Amino acid sequence: MTSASDGADSGNGSADASSRGVRRRIVTAFIVAVLVVGTAAFAYRMGTGADEAEAAATPTPTASETSEPAEPTTSELYAALTPSVVVIETESGIGSGVIVTTEGAIMTALHVVDGASEITVTFSDGTSASASVASSDIATDIATLTPDALPETLLPATIGDSGDLETGEDIIAIGTPLGLSWSLSTGVVSGLDRSATGENGTALSGLIQFDAAVNPGSSGGPLVRSDGTVVGIVVALLSSDGDDVFSGIGLAVPITTAVGGSGGEEGPQL
């Protein structure tokens, strides 16, 4: 038979055991909570560090990487344009021209071929062909030629916009001065909207003045701006003594005028 004190002791023991169980659960829960918070904090720090490392590893574009592409050098311009330039020979002289269409139309100065009974064009690869005048405009001293045969590789020049040309811009001229084929000269646009008297006595206006060296044989060659586009056709040089010797002033018909024509037949359809 169990005594009253034994029952009390038994009840107290149960109470103590229950209390210890509660404390253990509280402690366990606290430890788990600490571990969860610690793990989360560690993960956050690790993630932040990874993000910072990734951001540090990502290169930032520099000014040079985001700037406009550099314009071609003079040598690069010459290499690109030479295949589009031709030498023109007639019974009375020599001149220059530039291929302006994929069909092989050649633009030149009218006075280079005016009245010629025989015209021969020589391409940059050395091949030659007879040519005939397809159109002419005495008011601008511009003519276009159609060759009887084309080279295996035909590279027409890129036609630019002479309407936004400015004084001071760099330009190059390619032609056949004094019979020296595919010669290059460099300079700047010296003035715009100039006037002069052409070789046939025609008053020419709206011309581009430039200081790149030109001489007899340069007529009909292209005037090219620094982006590689043709902005004019060389038609004249001015000399103080009246001789055909360059004295620092060359003149070209703007390409927009040369293509559109003025007072004569229309230029080639580009």
Both 78 and 62 in a single domain?
no
Q: How far apart are CA 42 and CA 22, in angstroms?
A: 30
Cα–Cα dist 11/3, whole Å: 12
**pTM metric for this prediction:** 0.73
Is the separation of the CB atoms in 154 and 102 below 8 Å? yes
* pLDDT above 70: percentage of residues in the chain: 68
Quote the CA–CA distance of 126 and 119 in Å, as a whole number. Answer: 16
Residue 96 has pLDDT above 80, yes or no: yes
Q: pLDDT (tens digit, 9 = 90+) per residue, 216-226?
A: 999 999 999 99
> CA-CA distance, 72 to 76, in Å (whole number)?
6
Ranking 14-18, 32-36, 55-59, 248-252 by mean pLDDT, the lowest is 32-36
Of the candidates 21, 48, 67, which is a domain's last residue?
67
Q: Is residue 269 part of a domain?
A: no
Q: Which of 33, 67, 101 is the last residue of a domain?
A: 67
Task: Inform me whether the pLDDT recorded for 38 exceeds 70.
Answer: no
Q: Check whether residue 184 and residue 81 sit in a common domain.
A: yes
CATH classification of the domain holding 89: 2.40.10.120
Residue numbers of the domain that contains 20: 1-67
In the predicted structure, residue 63 carries a pLDDT above the cut 70:
no
Tell me the pLDDT band of 59, cut-offs 50, 70 and 90: low
Same domain, 52 and 78: no
Which of 67, 88, 119 is the C-terminal boundary of a domain? 67
d(C-alpha 99, C-alpha 177), whole Å: 18
SS3 at position 48: helix
Give the chain's mean pLDDT: 81
Residue 188: band (very low, low, confident or very high) from pLDDT cuts 50, 70, 90: very high
Residue 265 falls inside a structural domain: no
Contact 224, 231 (CB under 8 A): yes
Does 122 lie in the same domain as 230? yes
At 84, list the tokens.
Answer: 């589009």
* Total domains in the fold of the chain: 2
Query: Which residues are the active-site residues?
Result: 111, 141, 219
